[in-house]
Structure 1
Amino acid sequence: MFNFKHFFVVMMAGLIGLIGATATTQTQTAAATTIKFTSAMHTNKNLTYKGTIKYYVKSDAKKYQANIHYAANRWNKALGKKVLRPTNSLAGSRLVFTGTNKLGGDVAGMAEINSGVIALNTSWMNRYGTQKQRAVVIHELGHAFGTKDLYNYPDASLRSVFKKQTIMGGNYSTRIGSFDAKLAKWTLTKTRTMSPSEFSHYRSNEGLYYQQMLRGQL
């Protein structure tokens, strides 16, 4: 989930921006080698099937399609393989993007792994520029690999660092750093993929996002 309350705007230009970007890169590199990954960072399953996640962009999210593809390509590059692949088949997808105005007012996006849905809050997305829209999608796609929101991490000191410096901490960055990439790769190894029958069971559950989406309730 990408929560608007965790959004911070930092205006930098020229050399200041370059120094800040370099410092963030160094911090992410250091974090990737020093922070221990724990079970509090992942759920119990991911959305892959045979090594890929086929994603479908529903008509109400088409306006964000270019940024969705951008975010998917950024993750594929960070993971070193083409995990995320677009499909024109809703039924054949493992993940569906939909636009909705029925999420909470402070939530820019929400991911539900069980039924394979990422809901983008049009109230916020339509106000955002390209970078912020991409950042929301990149964050939500992180959940598809089984990674939790790090702005809820139980260790307060690390939680503060995650909020400022990581994708899953909600820093609204479009750059997937070394820490984010290594965490995603790790969570993919620590979570399990759902069989077709299990996944179909969740998609037929009327209480989950997929059926709500089909009925126009999401």
Structure 2
Amino acid sequence: MKRIALLLSALVVGIVIMGISLVDSAQGRTIYFDHNMIASKNLTDHGVIKYHVTGNAHKYNNEINVATKKWNYALGKKVFVQTNSLTDSRLVITKAAITPGLAGVAEINSGVIALNSETMNRYSESKREAVLIHELGHTLGTKDLYLYPEASLRSLFTRATIMGGDYSTHIGKFDADLAKWSLKHTTPVSDSEFNGYRHDPHLYFQKYVV
């Protein structure tokens, strides 16, 4: 398995958490991308993820627009493309009654990002944007890094990466490079699998795809 190493010093650039940079003692350690950081699938279709925003989520249009543009810039290509057609979409961003306390969840097989308005409405605009950036990262195949099995890295990721849940609105080099690596090392959901999930009314998130 080909692994891509990033010097932790590269991770430090441009990433500041609560006004505090990563501790000096952590610098110099080499971090390798590995399959604990990614899922098996991504949501792209011929390199693009067409997304549709349902009417009940239009209140978050500004944050969605900013988040998708930031990912497109970080990836160096236009991966996220908005569509007004639900049937033409690979990703639906909607409001849903998900687990209390959660701001959002991403379900890759059928292409749903569900936002909990009760939680989102308590957040500032920048924090809502950070939630969207994080959830969009999952559609590229990246896992939650706050669940990474190695404790020391898990702690670092939580403090210093978007996919670790640091609520940053800046997609730094580490998250951008990991997303690119994820796209290369995960498999796009096939049309048949995607359509099977998308049109199955018995699945939990499908009731929110309206």
Same fold by TM-score greater than 0.5: yes
Higher helix share: 1
1:53 equivalenced with 2:54 (yes/no): no
- The aligned residue for residue 136 of structure 1 is 131
**Whose relative contact order is higher, 1 or 2, with alpha carbons under 8 Å and at least 6 apart?**
1
Aligned counterpart in structure 2 of residue 171 of structure 1, from 166, 182, 190: 166
- C-alpha distance in 2 between matches for 1:182 and 1:200: 30
Within-5 A mapping of 1:49-198: 49-100=45-96, 102-198=97-193
- 1:80-114 Cα offsets, whole Å, 9 max, x none, are 000000000001000000012x2112211000000
- C-alpha distance in 1 between matches for 2:101 and 2:36: 24
Q: Percent identity?
A: 54
| AA at the equivalent of 1:71 | A
- C-alpha distance in 2 between matches for 1:30 and 1:171: 21
- C-alpha distance in 2 between matches for 1:205 and 1:43: 22
Q: Which runs of 5+ in 1 are unaligned?
A: 1-8, 13-19
Moved over 6 A (4+): none
Aligned-residue CA RMSD in angstroms?
Answer: 2.1
- C-alpha distance in 2 between matches for 1:214 and 1:175: 29
Counterpart contact for 1:117–1:209, Cα < 8 Å: no
| AA at the equivalent of 1:64 | Y
Taking structure 2 as the reference length, what is the TM-score of the superposition?
A: 0.86
| AA at the equivalent of 1:80 | G
Aligned length: 193
| AA at the equivalent of 1:91 | T
- The aligned residue for residue 8 of structure 2 is none
Taking structure 1 as the reference length, what is the TM-score of the superposition?
A: 0.83
| AA at the equivalent of 2:39 | T
Task: State the 1:134 CA deviation.
Answer: 0.1
Task: State the 1:209 CA deviation.
Answer: 4.3
Task: State the 1:206 CA deviation.
Answer: 2.9
Q: Which runs of 5+ in 2 are unaligned?
A: 1-16
